[in-house]
Chains A and B, each alone.
Chain A
Amino acid sequence: MASIADTLATAGSLAGELLDRALDRQLRLAVTGLSQSGKTAFITALVNQLENACAADSRLPLWQAQRRGRLLGVRRVPQTNAHIPSFAYTAALDRLFGDPPTWPESTRGVSEVRLEIRYRPVGRFARARGTLYLDIVDYPGEWLLDLPLLRLDYRAWSAQVAATLTPGSRRRDLAAPWTSWQPAAASPFAEEAAAGAARAYTAYLHACRGQLGLSLLQPGRFLLPGEHEGAPMLQFVPWVWAMPGDTCAEGSTFRVLEHRYEQYKKHLVRGFYRRHFAGFDRQIVLVDCLHALNRGPECFRDMQHALHRIMESFAYGKGNLLARLFAPRIDRVLFVASKADHVTPDQHAHLVSLLQHLVRDSQLVARFEGVSTDCLAIASVQATEVAPGRAGGRTLNGLRGHALDGSALFVRPGEVPAAIPDERWWRERGEPFDSFRPPRVEAGSPLPHIRLDAALEYLLGDRLD
């Protein structure tokens, strides 16, 4: 009898455990943005804040669960997706706490970190303890720029690239090394020559980004090849020379390049959407408006276009290509103007307003599709402190911090335009916005930040009730 009772008791507790596990929820939070928008710093800071959320010196008052003391603890746990590289959290943290502190290294591909959040649920039928598994997935925003390629065949895409190389433009000058290849379309494919041209094309893309500050560069994987570096599907160039007829034989240069382009689309573009994008629940898009404003009108417009392309991925219309590929489930998208600590607090409203103008169209579409969106100005790691200072006999609020080279800086940065800047603004704009290096923080204490707690509230708030 006793053994039966024991068995029943064991079964009962097992059922309870299973129920608990079924009720335990998980959330996949995707973080993206164009390169240099602060993704790695954001994730590092987010994990750092979460790990310290229950400490006495935590500063997340705008996050309700934390303020009301419903948070029991957060810790990093091993991720379940073993095929995705781990986010290099410790390395990034070491750099932020280093001497001198430096910004973490940038994203090179998909990476992931998993956190276990324990909290006290509210409500009449609440369990004693809830657990939320939070997967934070980092991926380069450039990969989303490849989405439109799915609609273009090799010829159409090549024509599009050729159109950007207008005579006399700087792009055309930079493109000279690979456009000088001049292959014959029908001749047999020569591996070495093509690989050389592809290398030159990749160098051209890097030059466009580095020298011209452009973001809308395709194919995006050429810039950040990740684990596929050296694969043949990453070795092709757009056909900007005289377009051949339909007579090219199998194995000819044109055919092989066309084939590689299609392989790229199939394995890398589609593959990314299937394997990663379809599983995301929440998305945060980081935008570095200040950098684009510093680089000038051309770069700014380019970023605007690139953002628009990125947003297309989140607009799930019926006729949308994505909707046919998979059933996406992202229900909240947060647009973030990063590096808000590089301007005085009174400019944050302008920064948000500028961001809203940048993503306006996609926000409307997303809302129509039932996806809620919001815009925030944040600083993952607050590199400056606000202090009043004197200039020309007047007292102004300014920022005190250190420039990237370590020299002390105490300035009042200029005003941020509240809407897409017009010609006049570009003509009359003042000096560029300064870059700051991370602050010196005592080891063990949470990093200072601006509004990360508000971002947490928006992204996680409803899941911790």
Chain B
Amino acid sequence: MEDRRVVLEPIDEALAEPVRAATRTALEPVAEEPAQAAPEAPASARRARSGLLIGGIGLVALLLLAQMLLGLWRLAQDYPLLGAGWALALALLLGVAGNALWRFWRTLARLRGRDALHRQARFLLDHDGVSEGVAFCTRLAELSGDSGSASFQRWRTALSATHNDREVLALYSQTVLVEADERALAQVVRHAGDVSVMLALSRFPLVDMLFVLWRQLRLAEDVARAYGVDAGYWGRVRLLRAIVRNMALAGASEVAAEVGTQLAGAGVIGKLSTAAAQGIGAGILTARLGLRAMAACRAIPWREDERPRLARVSAGMLANVRRYLGADDEDRERGGRSR
């Protein structure tokens, strides 16, 4: 019936209202159904692989713990005070990291519902609808606390009745969400810089692992706060998995680097530079995780050309590292010349 031309009569605004309200409330059910099947329904092969991964990570952690205790024991024999200090630091970090992990798991359980936003955004971007975009973005702004911001007002004035949902979402993404992008990116740069400096300075693999774990959990939370939206259940699961993997890599790369330098018979100088390289490596891993966290928290996915690049983050991070480690570099240069 609606495909025919109809001459319309004007209606007063009071009657127009329910129409709009109807389109507004029609939002919820759209994205509910394709929910459960989508993300994690892998074959048993993947489960076996992840079992192996967890086993491997556990083994590495155990070995590292043993090595750590051995190192501490040796250190305590030579310098008792220093050993006690390290033991205290380790215990503190362990406590902080454990606490962060516990909080993270607890929130996980409450967040199952939030993935709907992502699915709905994707649905609106993929379909040529015209009625739901504005209501969706307004709800997003309410959820993230952006609805009073200047950028939100700019978005509202830029809208017209002829924009389709995709254009409405793209405009929202490019007007309102870019500001959150900037805030989140600043957090990523900061945390990645911290991780790389810390790993370049520290000497104990287990401390490194815990530090990486702690910083990356904080990073995920800070990024989520920048967007004012929670990462969503699956987003968090994926992030946590990535964090654990990064943590293991931080430890493993350290062991490998240590063996490598010893084999090469390098002195203190060589060790310093491998530590710096390791720090930067871990920093880049952290930055990657930060970008992943941003993607998980951003309600409307980036277009391919808007995606922030790792290169941009690592450039900022390297500037940080250079500021902290500048003295070491000079030492090394001097050492190289004297040789």
Known contacts being A67-B174, A348-B128, A454-B167, is A410 close to B162, with CB within 8 Å?
A: no
Select B8's contact among A61, A352, A412, beta carbons within 8 Å: A412
Determine if B164 is an interface residue (Cβ-Cβ < 8 Å).
Answer: yes
The reply to whether the CB of A332 lies closer than 8 angstroms to some CB of chain B is no
Question: Which of A61, A379, A413 contacts B5 (CB under 8 A)?
Answer: A413
CB < 8 Å: which of B16, B159, B160, B171 contacts A395? Answer: B16
Beta-carbon contact of B6 and A398 below 8 Å:
yes
Chain B residues, Cβ within 8 Å of A195: none
The digit string for A357-395, where 1 denotes a CB below 8 A from any CB of B, is 000000000000000000000010010011111111001
Does B274 reach chain A (CB closer than 8 Å)? no
- Scan residues 63-84 of chain A and give those whose CB is less than 8 A from a CB of chain B: 64, 67
Is A212 an interface position by the 8 A CB rule? Answer: no
What are the residues of chain B within 8 A of A352 when measuring CB–CB?
Answer: 128
Cα(A348)–Cα(B170), bound, Å: 17
Q: How far apart are the CA atoms of A379 and B128 in the complex, in Å?
A: 18
- List chain A residues, Cβ under 8 A from B16: 388, 395
Of listed A390, A432, A454, residue having the most chain B CB within 10 A: A390
Pick the contact of B11: A349, A386, A389, A434 (CB < 8 A).
Answer: A389
Q: Shortest Cβ distance from B211 into chain A, in angstroms?
A: 34
Interface bits B107-139 vs A (CB < 8 Å: 1, else 0):
000000000000000000000111100000000
Known A388-B16, A389-B11; contact A431-B5, beta-carbon cutoff 8 A: yes
Bound: A8/B220 CA distance, A: 58
Contact residue among A64, A345, A389, A430 (Cβ-Cβ distance under 8 Å from B9) = A389
Q: For the complex, what is the distance from the CA of A388 to the CA of B8, rounded to whole Å? A: 8
Which one of B19, B158, B159, B162 lies within 8 Å of A450 (CB-CB)?
B162
Q: Are B9 and A382 in contact (CB under 8 A)?
A: no
Q: Is A396 interfacial (CB-CB < 8 Å)?
A: yes
- Contact indicator B167/A410 (Cβ below 8 Å): no
Q: How far is the CA of A398 from the CA of B19 in the complex (A)?
A: 13
Number of B residues contacting the other chain (C-beta, 8 Å)?
29
Is A282 engaged at the interface, CB distance under 8 Å to the other chain? no
- Chain B residues contacting A142 (CB-CB under 8 Å) are none
B175 close to A (CB within 8 Å): yes
> Which residues of B129-185 are within 8 A (CB) of A?
129-131, 158-164, 167, 170-171, 174-175
**Secondary structure dominating the interface of B:** loop
Min distance, Cβ A302 to any Cβ of chain B, angstroms: 24
**What's the nearest-Cβ distance from chain B to residue A390, in Å?**
5
Residues of A within 8 A of B15 (CB): 390, 395
When each residue 29-67 of chain A gets 1 if its CB lies under 8 Å from chain B and 0 otherwise, what string results? 000000000000000000000000000000101101001
Asked if A390 contacts B5 (CB within 8 A), the reply is no
A433 CA to B2 CA, complexed, in Å: 14
Q: Which of B8, B171, B175 contacts A391 (CB 8 A)?
A: B8
- Within 8 Å of chain A (Cβ to Cβ): is B10? yes
Does B330 count as interface, using CB distance less than 8 angstroms?
no
Partner of A430, one of B3, B130, B161: B3
Complex Cα gap A379–B162 (Å): 10
Shortest CB distance B148–A (Å): 20
The B269-293 residues at the A interface (CB cut-off 8 A) are: none
Residues 1 to 45 of chain B near chain A (Cβ within 8 Å): 2-11, 15-16, 19
A398 touches B171 (CB 8 A): no
In the complex, the 7 A-B pairs of residues with the closest C-beta atoms, listed nearest first: A389-B8, A349-B128, A415-B3, A61-B158, A430-B4, A398-B8, A386-B161
Q: Can you list 18 residue pairs at the A/B interface with Cβ under 8 Å?
A: A61-B158, A61-B171, A61-B175, A62-B167, A62-B171, A67-B158, A341-B162, A346-B130, A349-B128, A386-B162, A390-B10, A412-B2, A414-B3, A415-B3, A430-B4, A430-B5, A431-B4, A434-B5
User: What residues of chain A have their CB less than 8 Å away from a CB belonging to chain B?
Assistant: 59, 61-62, 64, 67, 340-341, 345-346, 348-349, 352, 379, 382, 385-392, 395-396, 398, 410-415, 430-434, 450-451, 454
Q: A61-B159, A349-B130, A430-B3 are in contact. List 19 more A-B contacts (CB 8 A).
A: A62-B170, A67-B158, A341-B162, A345-B162, A345-B163, A345-B164, A388-B19, A389-B10, A392-B6, A395-B19, A411-B7, A415-B2, A431-B4, A431-B5, A432-B5, A450-B160, A451-B162, A451-B167, A454-B167
